[in-house]
Amino acid sequence: MLAVDESARHEIDRILRSEAFRSADSLRRLLVFLAEKSFSGEGADLKEYTIGIDALGKPVTFDPRQDATVRITARRLRQKLADYYQNEGKDDPVVIELPKGRYQLNRQNRPLAEDNIPPIEAPAPPRPALRISAWLAWSLTAAAVLWAAYATVQLRQKQAADHAPWTPELAAIWKPFVESPRPLLISISSPLFFDIPGIGIFRDEQVNRPEDAQNSPALTAIRKTLHPPRIEPFFSYGTLGGANAGFVLGKTLGPRKSDISLVYGHELSWRQVSQNNVILIGSPRFFNPQLANMPVQTELNLEPGLGIRNLHPRGQEPAVFVDEDTHQSGIAYTLVSHTPGPLGDTDVMGFAGRSGAGIAGGVIWFSESASAKTLLSILRKPNGEIPRYYQVLLKVRFQDSVPVEASYVLHRELHPAGR
């Protein structure tokens, strides 16, 4: 049991205010939860399921046997605490530890040497300014924003059901996800960022996995120029458009589907997609690379840095659809793909594009009764059948990062492999 004294509480507060934990939202939530349980003497009895539900915002359907979020987050917290005490907290009188294989925090007093008086250091020379990507300027803390939006929707399901227009056309589009007995996962893309203590947050748009950081010329230059004590990868940011899209989907589908969960894009596993229906929001490069290959040959693909590639143009169709934007306002193309899951018996709907506002506009278009009616009239074959799998390209006009209008461009029917 963590000793209940003021020094332990002060140490927890000190850790939470540190640079190391400043942007680590999920680790902060877990640390606060474990500290309170350890203070109260309940730490030894904590289970993964309880931590997932109460600390990390998992739904009641959370299964620790299939979802390793708690173990992964605990491992990250353990490492983050070790890093903190090697750097910022090296002189703290109290040390807080999370032993391996346990969820109860330990507290230890650190012996203080009488002569251990830190020298006064000369002011450090000014560091050269980092060129932070403009993309970061439009980022939000996705973990808190998305979960708050989703929780609000869940709490207001009944009110939303009373007022949201759920037409036969919307029911037809979302039937594979709403009427399926399988749980539904909504996964928001989570780009990789790097926390550089004392300097700021940086993103190299060419690096989307922590293991590729060593090959980044930009990060190599930062190390050589600024000599930071460490560069910490994390996935705590997403676009405002992604948050908006997640909120719209929650409001639209929440009243009609009880077992919906949110999953970080980088944590979404092949097993989860093979056992659940999934809606992906964001560029495919920000999701687990294992999800890249579904049992279907696509006709339209998002190419990073370019646009939407039209593999087999028809008539006067262009081979590439390129966004026309100035970051805050302009035109963006959004690709909506409904495909089978990895094993062919689940459904995956992806909303992808180079603009967060464009993606949000695409989700809104698929959630409104008028556009749903338009979509079904376009998709319907002469025999009255509606394709099960398809891709739809939308053109979204946005102003001040807010989608104001979306329109249909083209679509393709998809045929699963072997059919």
pLDDT tens by residue, 126-165? 343 333 333 333 333 444 444 444 444 444 444 344 445 8
Q: Who's near 115: CB < 8 A, 6+ residues apart?
A: none
CA distances from 400 to 99, 140, 276, 329 (A): 48, 16, 36, 5
- Pair type for strands 307-310 and 300-303: antiparallel
Check whether residue 144 and residue 67 sit in a common domain: no
Residue type, 226: L
Between residues 144 and 266, the one the model is more confident about: 266
- Judge whether 124 lies within some domain: no
pLDDT band at 325 (very low <50, low <70, confident <90, very high): confident
Between residues 280 and 289, the one the model is more confident about: 280
Check whether residue 43 and residue 152 sit in a common domain: no
Check whether residue 318 and residue 293 sit in a common domain: yes
Check whether residue 339 and residue 385 sit in a common domain: yes
**Environment class of residue 376 by beta-carbon count within 10 Å: exposed (0-12), middle (13-18) or buried (19+)?**
middle
**Environment class of residue 134 by beta-carbon count within 10 Å: exposed (0-12), middle (13-18) or buried (19+)?**
exposed
pLDDT for 312: 95
Long-range contacts, 318-327 (Cβ 8 Å, 24+): 321/393, 321/409, 323/353, 323/354, 323/355, 323/358, 325/355, 325/398, 327/134, 327/138
DSSP 129: P
pLDDT for 309: 95
- Judge whether 1 lies within some domain: no
pLDDT for 232: 85
Specify the number of domains making up the chain.
Answer: 3
Range 165-181 average pLDDT: 94
Range 183-203 average pLDDT: 86
- Judge whether 329 lies within some domain: yes
Lowest mean pLDDT among 110-119, 264-273, 403-412: 110-119
Between residues 419 and 416, the one the model is more confident about: 416
pLDDT for 211: 79
Full residue range of the structural domain in which residue 207 is found: 202-231
Between residues 59 and 147, the one the model is more confident about: 59
- Judge whether 175 lies within some domain: yes
Check whether residue 209 and residue 259 sit in a common domain: no
Neighbours of 377 (CB within 10 A): 9
Terminal Cα-to-Cα distance of the chain (whole angstroms): 59
Q: Return d(Cα 340, Cα 277) in angstroms, integer.
A: 9
The answer to whether residue 311 scores a pLDDT higher than 90 is yes
Tell me the average pLDDT of the chain: 81
Check whether residue 318 and residue 388 sit in a common domain: yes
pLDDT band at 111 (very low <50, low <70, confident <90, very high): low
- Judge whether 217 lies within some domain: yes
pLDDT for 246: 87
Check whether residue 151 and residue 62 sit in a common domain: no
Residue 13 phi/psi, 5° resolution?
-60, -40
Q: Who's near 5: CB < 8 A, 6+ residues apart?
A: none
What pTM was computed for the model?
Answer: 0.62
Lowest mean pLDDT among 41-45, 59-63, 95-99, 123-127: 123-127
Check whether residue 207 and residue 187 sit in a common domain: no
CA distances from 144 to 95, 177, 239 (A): 28, 25, 13
pLDDT for 177: 96
Check whether residue 39 and residue 157 sit in a common domain: no
Check whether residue 274 and residue 384 sit in a common domain: yes
Rg (CA), the chain: 24
Range 228-242 average pLDDT: 79
Q: Who's near 195: CB < 8 A, 6+ residues apart?
A: 19, 20, 22, 23, 24, 201, 231, 232, 233, 234
Check whether residue 227 and residue 250 sit in a common domain: no
In which residue are the tokens 């491992």 written?
A: 75
Check whether residue 396 and residue 301 sit in a common domain: yes
Q: Who's near 244: CB < 8 A, 6+ residues apart?
A: 356, 360, 363
- Judge whether 310 lies within some domain: yes
Under 8 Å between Cβ of 344 and 368: no
- Judge whether 297 lies within some domain: yes
pLDDT for 5: 58
Q: Who's near 7: CB < 8 A, 6+ residues apart?
A: 93, 94
In which residue are the tokens 């495919």 written?
A: 284
3-state DSSP: the chain helix, strand, coil percent, rounded to 5? 40, 20, 40
Between residues 52 and 205, the one the model is more confident about: 52
- Judge whether 396 lies within some domain: yes
3-state secondary structure of 304: coil
Percent of the chain clearing pLDDT 70 (strictly above): 83
